[in-house]
Amino acid sequence: MPQTPPEDVRILLFDVFGTVVDWRSSVAREVAPFLARHAPGVDPTGFAVAWRRRYQPAMEAVRSGARPFTRLDILHRENLEGVLQESGLDPAAIDAAELDQLNKAWHRLDPWPDSVAGLARLKQRFLIAPLSNGNIALMLNLAKRAGLPWDAILGAEVARAYKPSPAAYLNTAEILGLAPGQCMLVAAHNNDLAAARRAGFRTAFVPRPTEHGPGQKTDLAPEQDWDAVAESFPALADRLGCPG
Amino acid sequence: MPQTPPEDVRILLFDVFGTVVDWRSSVAREVAPFLARHAPGVDPTGFAVAWRRRYQPAMEAVRSGARPFTRLDILHRENLEGVLQESGLDPAAIDAAELDQLNKAWHRLDPWPDSVAGLARLKQRFLIAPLSNGNIALMLNLAKRAGLPWDAILGAEVARAYKPSPAAYLNTAEILGLAPGQCMLVAAHNNDLAAARRAGFRTAFVPRPTEHGPGQKTDLAPEQDWDAVAESFPALADRLGCPG
């Protein structure tokens, strides 16, 4: 398995939810005060997981062409109403401004402990940017709060396509004026890396074995011979020859 | 003239060509070796100014609706062929790869001496991003080379509209999830600020009296009561209450 990328990689593009930040415990923390007020019996982590469960189906409506491109903040807001109903709450009975504020839980996700230090090292050798399905405002607010030192905010809203659609990767490379092979996706998810590789990207796998909590069964190991595999962002910086 | 913005400004959006970077002397420097090879009699600064003269007419074709949105790298490349012909050179007789490389002169512009230090201070209190007519790749490469510490790369390509069209400002605010009044444009050009103000933005004027070389006649003074006026980015940081 080649552990050093070709010399011509210019930019590292990062999956964010799960790879750079811990969405599960962060969303649970953010929804806890809301649930304590409105539904004291509902478990915050369960609520976070149920909210996230609606993420792929909502994007699939866009990927399939059934719906025009719609940014993730809007999909999250729709999904929030669904999960509230699922939890026995009537969204129409709650102040809309309070729900808008709750929806911004996704703008306040904590990075994994190694993310910021690893990105700072990787940035010394490469351009670094998110290639997330999160929209620009979400990614920008999240980065400012967490101190993620991106060179740019790219992703689905810029490419006008949700991963793993090929256009999400190909449009990003085209916008950057780069060949796909000059772009490397860094992700904790084998399916994201597989789609990036099909688009011609280089690939780096950084497993996040607690993304889904204790007992996680998926994405614990590489499913293909990704160009790089590392257990953390600083370890990836070592693999890619970045200064310490 | 109010010198302190309302507390609700969240992001400073910057004009770049002329406001953050010195395009004129930088492009002259970048074209000089090319001209020495192909047209030793042509003055590099004159060539830079002639290239820039084609900038507004090219964007006007997009603003008027005569042409779909086309990123600036492509307009610059077309304009380069025009200015080569104007200089007595046949673009078809020159290797296309050499012209592509020359076109990237606009990715290698030097910041004004105060830009980087001022942005670093402004970034401590505000989100900061370019709102330039330059495309994403151009702005990203320019920022990486010059060390401009942007939080995001915004601008015409993200908004799908060229300044001073209202959509360039309004779409940017909408993408950010902000009201126009939460956005402040920082620019050395009164007409850019006037358009931003019409869109509801706050405004800051930082004159750059040598942008057009010695004898500059325009944009030496504010033409309206802009929300802030400062002679440099660090002075703007002082006005806006940013930590030293």
Flag whether residue B74 sits within 8 Å of chain A, measured between CB atoms. no
Measured between beta carbons, which residues in chain B are less than 8 angstroms from residue A73?
177
Contacts of B143 in chain A (CB under 8 A): 151
Q: Are the beta carbons of B151 and A144 separated by less than 8 Å?
A: yes
Q: What CATH architecture is A23-107?
A: Orthogonal Bundle (1.10)
Q: Which residue of A has its CA nearest to B158?
A: A158
Q: Do B137 and A73 touch (CB under 8 A)?
A: no
What values do phi and psi take at A60, rounded to 5?
-60, -30
Mind listing the pLDDT tens digit for each residue in B118-148? 999 999 999 999 999 999 999 999 999 999 9
CB B103 within 8 A of CB B93: no
8 Å CB contact between A146 and A116: yes
Task: Give tens-digit pLDDT for A63-112.
Answer: 999 999 999 999 999 999 999 999 999 999 999 999 999 999 999 999 99
Residues of A in contact with B178 (CB under 8 A): 137
Q: Domains of chain B: which residue ranges?
A: 11-22+110-239, 23-107
Q: Give pLDDT tens digits for A137-149.
A: 999 999 999 999 9
Q: What separation, in Å, do the N-terminal and C-terminal C-alpha atoms of chain A show?
A: 24
Reply yes or no on domain A11-22+109-239 having CATH 3.40.50.1000.
yes
Q: Is the pLDDT of residue A4 over 80?
A: no
Q: What is the pLDDT of residue B4?
A: 47
Which pLDDT value is given to residue B93?
Answer: 96
The interface pTM score, or ipTM, of the predicted complex is 0.95
- Axis crossing angle, helix A96-103 with helix A72-86, rounded to the nearest 10: 110
> Is B11-22+110-239 a domain of CATH 3.40.50.1000?
yes
Q: State how far the Cα of A112 lies from the Cα of A86, in Å rounded to an integer.
A: 30
What pLDDT is stored for residue A5 in this prediction? Answer: 53
Q: What is the pLDDT of residue B6?
A: 62
Q: Mean pLDDT, to the nearest integer, of A211-229?
A: 96
Residue A171: both structure tokens together: 């449009």
Q: Are A136 and B158 in contact (CB under 8 A)?
A: yes
The answer to whether B115 touches B148, Cβ cutoff 8 Å, is yes
Does the beta carbon of A211 lie under 8 angstroms from any beta carbon of chain B?
no
Q: Which residue of A has its CA nearest to B126?
A: A144
Helices B44-53 and B23-38 pack at an angle, to 10 degrees, of 120
* Cα of B215 to nearest chain A Cα, Å: 36
Residue B1 has a pLDDT of 41
Beta strands at B127-132 and B11-14: parallel, antiparallel or unpaired: parallel
What rounded mean pLDDT belongs to chain B? 96
3-state SS of B159-174 is: HCCCCCCHHHHHHHHH
pLDDT tens digit sequence for B24-59: 999 999 999 999 999 999 999 999 999 999 999 999
Whether B165 contacts B188, CB under 8 Å? no
Is the pLDDT at B2 greater than 90? The verdict is: no
B153–A contact, CB cutoff 8 A: yes
When scoring B158, B172, B174 by the number of chain A Cβ atoms within 10 A, the one with the most, hence best to mutate, is B158
Closest by CA position to A13, among listed A203, A145, A195: A203
State whether A152 and B150 contact (CB < 8 Å).
Answer: yes
Q: How is B167-214 classified by DSSP, letter by letter?
A: HHHHHHHHHHT--GGGEEEEES-HHHHHHHHHTT-EEEE---TTTT-T
Size of interface A-B (CB pairs under 8 A): 51
CB B35 within 8 A of CB B89: no
Residue from A99, A107, A92, A133 nearest A26 by CA: A107
pLDDT score for B5: 53
Which of A137, A154, A175 lies at the smallest CB-CB distance from B176?
A137
How crowded is residue A92: how many other Cβ atoms within 10 Å of its Cβ? 10
Residue B65: which pLDDT band, with cuts at 50, 70 and 90? Answer: very high
Strands across the sheet with A202-205, in order?
A: A154-155, A127-132, A11-14, A183-187, A202-205, A228-229
Is some CB atom of chain B closer than 8 A to the CB atom of A152? Answer: yes
Query: pLDDT tens digit string along A21-31?
Result: 999 999 999 99
Half-sphere exposure of A208 (CA within 13 A, CB side): 25
Q: Do B175 and A136 touch (CB under 8 A)?
A: yes
CB B131 within 8 Å of CB B185: yes
Bridging pattern class, strands A202-205 and A228-229: parallel
Say how far apart CA A218 and CA A221 lie, in whole Å.
8
User: What is the predicted pLDDT for the residue at B243?
Assistant: 86
- pLDDT-wise least confident of A5-19, A184-198, B62-76, B225-239: A5-19
- The mean pLDDT value for B215-236 works out to 97
Which residues from chain B sit within 8 angstroms of residue A154, using beta carbons? 136
Q: For residue A108, what is the DSSP state? A: S
Closest chain A C-alpha to B222 CA, distance in angstroms = 31
Nearest Cα neighbor of B139 from B9, B1, B17 is: B17
